[in-house]
Amino acid sequence: MQEDYERFTALNAEIVAVSVEEAAIGANVSQLLGLQYPMLSDVEHKVVNLYGVYNLLGDSLATPSVFLIDVEGVIRWEYVGVSTSDRPSNEMILDQLRALAGSP
């Protein structure tokens, strides 16, 4: 998502990553990848449990997922992977954002 960060923000979207790792590990990953968006730590699995994506693959991790949430907190679109490598493409997410915004 980092490589298309400006395209996401141009659509008034903000990216927030959530990891079940310790905050220090997330900070190292963010720095290593040069992420411009925050990576939050959820070591107690509260957020990933609320979204129903914790340990779906039996690996004690959050399943790769994307949620598009509007300003009122309503989930407008979601993608939950069926494997550790199953993620939507940036273009798929951008298409969904454009559709939600009513843009071509």
CATH number at residue 91: 3.40.30.10
pTM: 0.91
Is 88 part of a structural domain of the chain? yes
Is 103 part of a structural domain of the chain? no
Mean pLDDT, residues 90-98: 97
Full domain range(s) for residue 26: 2-96
pLDDT of res. 104: 66
Is 27 part of a structural domain of the chain? yes
What's the rounded Cα separation, in Å, for the pair 59 and 15? 24
Is 12 part of a structural domain of the chain? yes
3-state SS, residue 78: strand
What's the rounded Cα separation, in Å, for the pair 71 and 61? 27
- For 28-84, what is each residue's pLDDT tens digit? 999 999 999 999 999 999 999 999 999 999 999 999 999 999 999 999 999 999 999
What's the rounded Cα separation, in Å, for the pair 103 and 24? 39
Q: How confident is the model at residue 13 (pLDDT cuts 50, 70, 90)?
A: very high
**How many folded domains does the chain comprise?**
1
